[in-house]
Structure 1
Amino acid sequence: MMRLAYLTPFLLLACCLQSASAQVTSQDFDKIMLYTLKNSNGLTIKVTNYGAIITSILVPDRDGEMGDIALGYDSVEDYTNAVDKPYFGAVVGRYGNRIAEGKFTIDGEDYTLAVNNGPNHLHGGVIGFDKVVWDAKPVGDNSLELTYVAKDMEEGYPGNLKCKVTYTLTDDNELKIHYEATTDKTTPVNLTQHTYFNLKGEGNGTILDHELMLNAKKFTPVDEGLIPTGQLVDVAGTPFDFTTAKPIGRDIEEADEQLNFGGGYDHNWVLDKGGKDGEMTLAARVSEPSSGRVLEVFTTEPGVQFYCGNFLDGRLTGKAGKPYVYRGGLCLETQHFPDSPNQPNFPSTLLEPGEKYDTTTVFRFSTE
Structure 2
Amino acid sequence: MSVSSSSHTLCNSRGMRVQVNPRDASLQAWWAPDRYGRLADVLDHAMADPAGKAGSPHWQCEAASDAGLELRLAQDGLCVRLRYRLEDNGGLRIDCEAVAIAPARIGLAAPAFNLHGGGMVADHVLRLAADRYLPALPAADVTDVAGSAFDFRQPAPLGARLAWPGARPAGTVGFDHGFCLAADGLLREAARVADPASGRELRFFTTQPRLHLQSDSRRFCLATEALDIACGAATRHTFVYRLGVQDIDAFDISESVSVALNK
Separation of aligned partners in 1, 2:114 and 2:139: 27
3-state DSSP of counterpart to 1:250: helix
1:297 is aligned to 2:175: no
The CA distance in 1 between the partners of 2:2 and 2:13, in whole Å, is 14
Question: Does the 8 A contact of 1:252 with 1:259 survive in 2?
Answer: no
Matches of 1:350 and 1:241, distance apart in 2: 27
- Gap regions ≥5 residues in structure 2: 247-263
Matches within 5 A, 1:237-276: 237-256=147-166, 258-260=168-170, 262-271=172-181, 273=182
Matching residue of 1:156: none
Provide the residue aligned with 2:73 in structure 1: 148
Q: Which amino acid aligns with 1:365?
A: L
In structure 2, what is the Cα distance between the partners aligned to 1:281 and 1:133? 30
Higher relative contact order, chain-length normalized (CA < 8 Å, sep 6+): 2
Q: Which has the larger radius of gyration?
A: 1
The match for 1:354 among 223, 232, 245 is: 232
Shift of 1:258: 4.9
Partner of 2:218: 328
TM-score by structure 1 length? 0.62
Instruction: State whether structure 2 residue 19 is matched by structure 1 residue 46.
Output: yes
Change (3 A) 1:137 1:280: same
Match of 1:194 among 82, 100, 110: 110
Extract unaligned runs of 5+ from structure 1. Answer: 7-31, 73-81, 94-122, 152-159, 310-326, 337-348
Residue 112 of structure 1 corresponds to none
Q: Structure 1 residues 144, 257: closer, same or farther in 2, change over 3 A?
A: closer
Structure number having the greater strand percentage:
2
Query: Is the Cα contact below 8 Å between 1:306 and 1:330 reproduced in 2?
Result: yes
Q: 1:261 to 1:282 in 2, by over 3 A?
A: farther
Query: Letter of the aligned partner of 1:194 in structure 2?
Result: A
CA distance in 2 between counterparts of 1:257 and 1:55 reads 30
2:43 counterpart SS class: coil
CA distance in 2, matches of 1:172, 1:58: 14
Q: C-alpha deviations, 1:215-236, integer Å up to 9, x for none?
A: 101101232xxx342x221111
Q: CA RMSD in A?
A: 2.3
Partners of 1:59 and 1:365 within 8 A in 2: yes
Q: Is the 8 A contact 2:149 2:167 kept in 1?
A: no
Q: Is the 8 A contact 1:215 1:243 kept in 2?
A: yes
Distance of 2:144 and 2:219 partners within structure 1: 26
The 3 A distance-change label for structure 1 pair 142 and 3 is farther
Number of residue-to-residue matches in the alignment: 246
